[in-house]
Amino acid sequence: MTSADPPQPVRAGAGSRDTGPRDVARDRENPDVLTPPPTDSGTLPNLKFSFSDAHTRIERGGWTREVTQRELPIATELAGVDMALEPGAYRELHWHKQAEWAYVLSGSCRIGAVDQEGRNFLDDVRQGDLWFFPHGVPHHIQALDEGVEFLLVFDDGAFSENGTFLLSDFFAHTPRSVLAKNFGWTLEQMENLPEREKYIFPGEVPPPLTEDRVVSPTGDVPRTFKHRLLAQAPQRFPGGTVRIADSANFAASTAICAALVEIEPGGLRELHWHPTDDEWQYWISGHGRMGVFASSGVARTFDFRAGDVGYVPFAYGHYIENLGDEPLVFLEMFRKPRFADISLTQWMANLPAEISAATLDLPREMIEALPREKRPVVR
């Protein structure tokens, strides 16, 4: 069979040709689903959904699409939104019941918020920066002169971006007599108020940050809602790098933490699991596969590429392998303030060697040679 031939669900001594109908392009993108490794076994829920398969909401000034529990039923803990804004465009003034964590994928934008004590926050964020807005804190986003695309993550798998509290929508559903009493306006002054939500809409690129700042009588928020993740020195390992952003170095982010992982070609995000919560992933570049072990003899392998969302339930053992010839970059996110993972290698290396050797029928010296410090990414 040549590389031009369609892949087949066949491995040595097992399987049979699929003569169609079929989506060959999709089979090529998912070889470990079409022909699973022999180590896969049993039934495991789907742990992958691509933003490319999500509905896109197109507005004047930008677009948005989301992956929630509706698209990926296993994802009960977190949901994600991919959003883009044209230069100057607004994601209008709004708030959520859920906390909002964000990663800037490209471009730049200005973000602002005012907390429950009237303390304000205004700053610019660029590619590789994070922001975090706590539950219920009102905020807005406006693209700078190059436009922006960003990933939003919310601490509720059932969240939908279409269900946020919008200022224009609030005004449209409040009697104008009440608005007049509240703000001291006249009915004539309110003739041009929007009759429905604006959500995303065009605008002018904002002036320099120094000209846009407002001094609140109660001051600024005590903990910045911005964190420069790419400017953070990475932890370096033989197979790649890891940057962790949690409440230890991004104090405002009390509901969501994350790791930005880069795996070199041929490298592996080591066999591990997370002892505190489910993992929600966003794949930024490259391609690879993830193998997941769910106990009781159940395991499944999934193929991923840029734009995909992955999900690993709490305590499931897993690995991620770079199968390409470029770095594989992805985010791991958790509904917890602090990042935590258990390294299988580190666990085995810090036990008396005879225990692991006896369990796995291996020579003791193989166990004794394992590194005792954690190496999240290996070759």
The total number of residues written for the chain in this structure: 379
What is the side-by-side order of every strand in the sheet holding 257-263?
Answer: 48-50, 308-312, 279-285, 328-334, 257-263, 240-245, 235-237
Instruction: Specify the residue for token string 């789907």.
Output: 46
CA–CA separation, 257 vs 15, rounded Å? Answer: 42
Pure H helices in 113-175: 167-172
CA–CA separation, 311 vs 377, rounded Å? Answer: 19
Give yes or no for a contact between 110 and 123, defined as CB atoms under 8 angstroms apart: yes
| Tokens found for residue 290 | 């993830």
Please name the amino acid found at residue 105. Answer: L
Instruction: Report which of 224, 16, 40 is spatially closest to residue 130, judged by C-alpha positions.
Output: 224
Residue from 100, 332, 354, 365 carrying the catalytic annotation: 332
Q: Report the first-to-last Cα separation within the chain, whole angstroms.
A: 31
CA–CA separation, 165 vs 321, rounded Å? Answer: 40
- Burial label, 372 (beta-carbon count in 10 A; 0-12, 13-18, 19+): exposed
| Tokens found for residue 204 | 């002018």
For residue 332, indicate whether it is catalytic. Answer: yes
- Show which residues are catalytic: 332
